[in-house]
Chains A and B, each alone.
Chain A
């Protein structure tokens, strides 16, 4: 039970996702080291989750970190069903409904025809899942991890800004707002009005697939 004013403490507080991102930055080089030059998104995420699950600091931070975490929805008849698979679900404690969702997307993928930014897919198949509450239902925060496959963070950022601004269903309240980088991980925030009228803050982190190797 807490009493009194917590402001001085919250002003200095390092949020959970900031601390997790610090650990992602630590394990990221070893993760890249075992992967091919242009791995699939799932291969990256699986190796990232495996390393995070073994990291002693992450072990103290969260109760469970799960690849393809399936949150439950409730049907009108009261039965539960799977709402889909979130790339990374981080359970902070025993409560299954209290989790931090990470949707992962590749960006700047080299293809035969040249480089594809995949910024539109990041928005429509990533961020929108938080908007529809398929992910993080009833929760105020969600996270996006962008794997920038050619290491060109500037190009990825530029394309993402355009894609976010162009997609009206995102109901953008503000952002993209830059956040202080964690090591070489570029970060920004966006805030949105969900159709349910509940606001959500999306915290984005762009990881260079080459520069940390």
Chain B
């Protein structure tokens, strides 16, 4: 397949992520109805009849450009910059832009005018950079005149599409948007954490009719629009009750999951990526990502539960498989899955790693003395039990890892079944 992102995706995706990505890939994208302002005439860009995207102005930098002589005829003075309030990136506010404290830029002298139609009217402002503290994109709905630099892009909204714009604003702030951008765009995840204009347009933005459950999507859309309206009311009324940012973002996430009709497994994939994978993408000195930590008991139990439920669908009459942690040390743990076992997850308190390895070695008639850190997917089948020998690092105990492990086990068994069949047929 013609996929220029294949190396990056192989780096960060496992099979379950790839499946979710392929679902979202099928949905209509922003590029289906938003055009780049450079590709259309100035008249059309200001007509308010279509969705247009463009970047803000580039300021004229005296220090950097002072040496070169700028001819008078090439000197650019903007009709907007220096007159309208200007939003520096530090003053950007998510969902609804507050403009009370904003002042015009000091000079109207610009290097590039930028997308001037994006300085007025209804539009969505989207900074290029990913907010690394939250691991999210940011977007704000705006209908007041203001200017901004090229680090931000504006999506101009045609008359009558205001509700759709509010929905898009909310969805761009959700974890789904940043998850898709992480896997589906060029820079974020392999270079700078940013999503430029061209990459922004490949994010999915289906209408409710494109989704599996139109009714649920419509209901979620209504609430997402309401969140943006509430945020706008807050910025306009200093006395309005303020909802904590985290709480709003969590609400947006839940509604975005509902809008896209995601299953609990798919939600777990996104949450794990945002909570654990993205913060570990660029390790630096003095930073020890959670992904490398030893999983605690609750995380081990969650892994076992997710694996058990996900695998159970592949076996007749199983609602879940029995799970038990047979032994663990500081480096390794051995998890047992049992067919027809319905016991809740538990951990052997006295389990000894060496004893269990000797037991397994005896049953498969071969030594088990390899470097298990180099074989993180080692599985030993003994009768109706399957033993997973796993390094004690959180990355091997995430819910998303459990889903990937379940897929891997199912695929291996599928192949084993297929290989057995021709022998019996002949």
Which A residues are within 8 Å of any B CB, using their own CB? 1-6, 8-10, 12-16, 19, 53-57, 59-60, 62-64, 92-94, 96, 140-141, 173-174, 191, 199, 201
Provide the residues of chain A in CB contact with B363, threshold 8 Å. 4
Provide the residues of chain B in CB contact with A1, threshold 8 Å. 375, 377-379
CB closest chain-B residue, reference A55:
B212
Asked if B88 is at the interface (CB within 8 A of a chain A CB), the reply is no
Provide the residues of chain A in CB contact with B383, threshold 8 Å. 5, 8
User: Would B18 and A63 count as touching, CB distance under 8 A?
Assistant: yes
User: Would B261 and A8 count as touching, CB distance under 8 A?
Assistant: no
- Given A62-B19, A93-B411, A201-B425 in contact, is the A14-B416 Cβ separation under 8 Å? no
Smallest CB separation, A187 vs chain B (Å): 15
Provide the residues of chain A in CB contact with B313, threshold 8 Å. 14, 19, 57
Smallest CB separation, A205 vs chain B (Å): 17
User: Would A8 and B384 count as touching, CB distance under 8 A?
Assistant: yes
User: Would A6 and B381 count as touching, CB distance under 8 A?
Assistant: yes
Asked if B412 is at the interface (CB within 8 A of a chain A CB), the reply is yes
Provide the residues of chain B in CB contact with A6, threshold 8 Å. 381, 412-413, 416
Provide the residues of chain B in CB contact with A199, threshold 8 Å. 422, 425-426
Which B residues are within 8 Å of any A CB, using their own CB? 1, 10, 15-16, 18-20, 22-23, 26, 211-212, 261-263, 265-266, 310, 313-318, 339, 360, 363-364, 366, 368, 375, 377-384, 386, 403, 407, 411-414, 416-422, 425-426
- The 4 A-B residue pairs whose C-beta atoms are closest, nearest first, are A4-B381, A54-B212, A56-B263, A4-B364
User: Would A60 and B19 count as touching, CB distance under 8 A?
Assistant: yes
User: Would B422 and A140 count as touching, CB distance under 8 A?
Assistant: yes
User: Would A174 and B364 count as touching, CB distance under 8 A?
Assistant: no
User: Would B315 and A12 count as touching, CB distance under 8 A?
Assistant: yes
Q: How far is the CA of A92 from the CA of B16 in the complex (A)?
A: 11
Q: How far is the CA of A92 from the CA of B366 in the complex (A)?
A: 32
Smallest CB separation, A42 vs chain B (Å): 19
> A57, A59, A94 — which one has the most chain B CB atoms within 10 A of its CB?
A59
Majority secondary structure, A binding face: mixed
User: Would A10 and B339 count as touching, CB distance under 8 A?
Assistant: no
Provide the residues of chain B in CB contact with A93, threshold 8 Å. 15, 18, 407, 411
CB closest chain-B residue, reference A198:
B422
Q: How far is the CA of A81 from the CA of B265 in the complex (A)?
A: 37
- Given A13-B417, A14-B316 in contact, is the A2-B379 Cβ separation under 8 Å? yes
> B310, B366, B386, B414 — which one has the most chain A CB atoms within 10 A of its CB?
B414
User: Would A14 and B315 count as touching, CB distance under 8 A?
Assistant: yes
Q: How far is the CA of A69 from the CA of B413 in the complex (A)?
A: 25
- Given A56-B261, A63-B22, A199-B425 in contact, is the A9-B15 Cβ separation under 8 Å? no
Provide the residues of chain B in CB contact with A55, threshold 8 Å. 212
User: Would B379 and A3 count as touching, CB distance under 8 A?
Assistant: yes
Provide the residues of chain A in CB contact with B417, threshold 8 Å. 10, 13, 15
Provide the residues of chain A in CB contact with B380, threshold 8 Å. 2-4
Smallest CB separation, B21 vs chain A (Å): 9
Q: How far is the CA of A63 from the CA of B262 in the complex (A)?
A: 16
Provide the residues of chain A in CB contact with B419, threshold 8 Å. 140
- Given A15-B417, A92-B411 in contact, is the A5-B381 Cβ separation under 8 Å? yes
Q: How far is the CA of A144 from the CA of B26 in the complex (A)?
A: 25
User: Would B316 and A174 count as touching, CB distance under 8 A?
Assistant: no
Provide the residues of chain A in CB contact with B339, threshold 8 Å. 8-9, 12
